[in-house]
Amino acid sequence: MMIVEQLKALLRALPDPAFVLSRSGKYVAVFGGRDKRYYHDGSGLVGANILDLVVPDKARWFLQQIARALESRELLIEEYELSNKDVKGLTDDGPLKPIWFEGRIQALDFLVDGEEVVLWVASNISERYQLERKLRELSDTDQLTGLFNRRKLQHDLNQQYDSWVKYSIPTSVFIFDLDNLKKINDTQGHHAGDAIIQAAANICRAELRHSDTVCRFGGDEFVVSLPNTMLEQAQRIVEHLHRCLRTELRRISGEHIVVTASIGLTVMKQEDQSPEDAIRRADAALYTAKNQGKDRVVTA
């Protein structure tokens, strides 16, 4: 009897909550996870079913992971987000913000009421997750402008190229640089040139869509990918941006040295072997715009 009581005390003292869940999603037992700084008390969930307590999309996901663990008989490790708003029956005591969990799911070698069951241990990894997200943001971000950098651009372009090849989902790409910025740097200093680069970045943020990847490619050169965008629509977007850049950059640079933007635009094509082919084509169009007198859009 003493061993049984000690075992119960041991399970209650587990730092992370551990759930025994059936294949159908029933909460068979809940142990541990009593620290209200990190977890909500889940003891009231016993006897209930995930489908009745958890919002539908997440409930289906939980059932899929249970089924995977039962079929593979291997330890599964999954990261997911959950809050007390997603689960009915939890008390208000506990963290106010959504929690990121690492779930470790293992099939058990016995049945409960004739059903297969798994052990699901949920560890609060919110602090680690936020730190990793911040580090990812820093590694993808240009320090001067806060726009994306080449690394992020390459990642997104590879995905967009795959969508084009596999599903014919178009992506348009354009490159622009700032005309006469070197003269600003030479006469007013690089701090003045940096201010204009930052202004161009702010215009892009204000005028382009959240789904677009806007990247400072280097110096005063910017590359933008427009996913799910045919060339005709892209031309309208780019012409609008060009007008905004012309108005704002002229205002900032002043009358003596006028900074404008030259833009080269293209769309991914059937003959492209990689996203770099589209980049090279847009770059060639940019140089055509430069050679034709700057401050214009050329489409390739």
If one compares 190 and 90, the residue with the highest pLDDT of the two is 190
What pLDDT, on the 0 to 100 scale, is given for residue 92? Answer: 64
| Two structure tokens written together for 247 | 């108005």
Q: Domain 140-299: which topology?
A: Alpha-Beta Plaits (3.30.70)
What pLDDT, on the 0 to 100 scale, is given for residue 226? Answer: 97
Beta bridge partners of 87: 54
CA distance 8 to 29: 12
Residue 11: pLDDT above 90? no
What pLDDT, on the 0 to 100 scale, is given for residue 220? Answer: 93
Give 38's pLDDT tier (boundaries 50, 70, 90). Answer: confident
Q: What is the arithmetic mean of pLDDT over 257-280? A: 95
Q: Give the residue extent of every domain in the chain.
A: 2-132, 140-299
Mean pLDDT across the chain? 91
CA distances from 184 to 191, 195, 264, 300 (A): 9, 10, 23, 30
Contact 94, 64 (CB under 8 A): no
Residue 56 neighbours by CB under 8 Å, 6+ apart: none
Contact 291, 179 (CB under 8 A): no
What pLDDT, on the 0 to 100 scale, is given for residue 93? Answer: 65
| β-sheet with 171-179: strand ranges across | 213-218, 221-227, 171-179, 260-267, 297-299
Task: Return the H-helix or E-strand segment holding 228.
Answer: none
This prediction has a pTM of 0.61
Q: Domain 2-132: which topology?
A: Beta-Lactamase (3.30.450)
| Two structure tokens written together for 228 | 């799910």
What pLDDT, on the 0 to 100 scale, is given for residue 7? Answer: 82
